[in-house]
Amino acid sequence: MSVFKKTLVASSLMLVSSHAFAAAFQLAEQSVSGLGRAYAGEASVADDASVVARNPALMSQFESAQLSVAAMFVEPDVSLKGTTTNNGVDVSALDDSSIAPSAVVPAAYYTRPMGQGWYLGVGVYSQFGLATEFASDYAPGQIAGETEIVTVNTNVSVAYQISEEFTIALGISHVYADAKIIRNFGQSPLPIPAQTEAVHLEGDDQGYGWNLGLSYQLDKGNRLGFNYRSETDITFEGEFANQLPTGAPFYGTANEKSPGSVAITLPAIAEFSGSHQVNEQSALHFSLLWTQWSSFKTLAAKVDGRGTVFSKDENFSNSMRYAIGADHQYSDELTLRFGIAYDKSPADPYHMSISIPDTDRMWYSLGAEYQVSINSSLDVGVSFLRGKTQNFVEADNLGQVWGFESNGHATVLGVQYNLGF
């Protein structure tokens, strides 16, 4: 295969593989009540209807119908500094102060008891999402560009309280995913303008998965919870095109669109949590969250009439997230929350990419819940994510080498309204 033909698809898929599935863009933001604890205890704490997302077995803790509506504002701060090139381009041309735009992550949940120990819950939320933007004339355009992926998870779960201590839940999820990937040719020895689109790929798909939740009340002050969410297979089917001239030596499409597809697997997730009521005012919580990134080893793309045009090893590893947090009932109306978490990156250090300069990160979180009335409450929360500085080198498909130093941080602000009726 020609180096030009590889360039058309390969660089764009590197971004999808890295950004869409790195821990930094695996969305933990399913509730604001959990945000204030850095999502510690999410499988064991029954705050509100958002339990549908992290452990629907906890629906048995509510005696009436519950509604929760949330919005979380994510402000990433991911910057790049150039360190080296092999093509005479000044390293300062690689500097970028912010490659990820801000985003709002909404969520909504409803639960209700059905009688005789049965409970029903519905949730609409997101577990994976990203957006990155580089200037169209950015020097390493083949490994940069514009990328957006949005997933919407609609989950329906039922729970059955087997005994006063033990509840089990099962659910089915419908996942809709939409992706947009644009890559520019960038600076090169070839007489091609840097802003020329080398890749323009848009597509969507839907898939199904299942989840299992368990809740066990050890005694009045201690509860354990477990939740498992299955893999979901997604095949983005859409249109592929570029602005490169047709025929040799460029193998371009001259903006002519062709059907194309990329198959990926959203990884399985398992969480184990515990909650301990220290006294009437305070409680401690922990969570261990495992994500099966090892299911994402190789990425391949197909274009109708051309077959498999790209295959890339990713070599992701399973990752863990550790969180501890606490609640304190400051007054009858006000509950305070705080928590910290350590989020381990799944990325292989030998497969780092500008598309996601991923890193291990710490979460530092604060939150509060105010009881507006006997049946309604308002949650607010904030988390500060701090990542390590990373240094890595990446080569594009023309053999150009680009070296970077990356810093990745983020701030998450959220508000949530809860109603019982």
Structure tokens that stand for 240 in this block: 């592929």
CA 25 to chain centre: 4
pTM, entire model: 0.89
Which residues constitute the domain of residue 34? Answer: 3-420
Task: Report the distance separating Cα 323 and Cα 342, nearest Å.
Answer: 6
CB neighbours (10 Å) of residue 255?
12
**Domains: count for the chain:** 1
* E strands, 330-400, in order: 334-343, 361-371, 376-387, 390-395
Task: Report the distance separating Cα 146 and Cα 182, nearest Å.
Answer: 5
Residue written as token pair 């840097």? 194
186, 140 contact by CB (below 8 A) = yes
How sure is the predictor about 249, in pLDDT bands with cuts at 50, 70 and 90? low
Structure tokens that stand for 309 in this block: 């045009």
pLDDT digit string (tens) for 49-63? 999 999 999 999 999
Mean of the pLDDT values across residues 127-155? Answer: 87
CATH of the domain at 147: 2.40.160.60
Question: To the nearest 10°, the Cα dihedral for 147, 356, 73, 81?
Answer: -100
* Residues pairing with 289 in the sheet: 271, 321
pLDDT digit string (tens) for 201-234? 888 999 999 999 999 999 999 999 999 999 999 8
Task: Report the distance separating Cα 262 and Cα 299, nearest Å.
Answer: 8
- The H-assigned helical ranges of 246-337 are none
Question: To the nearest 10°, the Cα dihedral for 167, 170, 176, 177?
Answer: 70
Residue written as token pair 């399973």? 318
Question: Buried b / exposed e across 354-374, counting CB within 10 Å, b at 16+?
Answer: bbbbbbbbebebbbbbeeeee
Question: To the nearest 10°, the Cα dihedral for 236, 184, 134, 193?
Answer: -160
The pLDDT score that the predictor gives to residue 384 is 96
For all residues of the chain together, what is the average pLDDT? Answer: 87
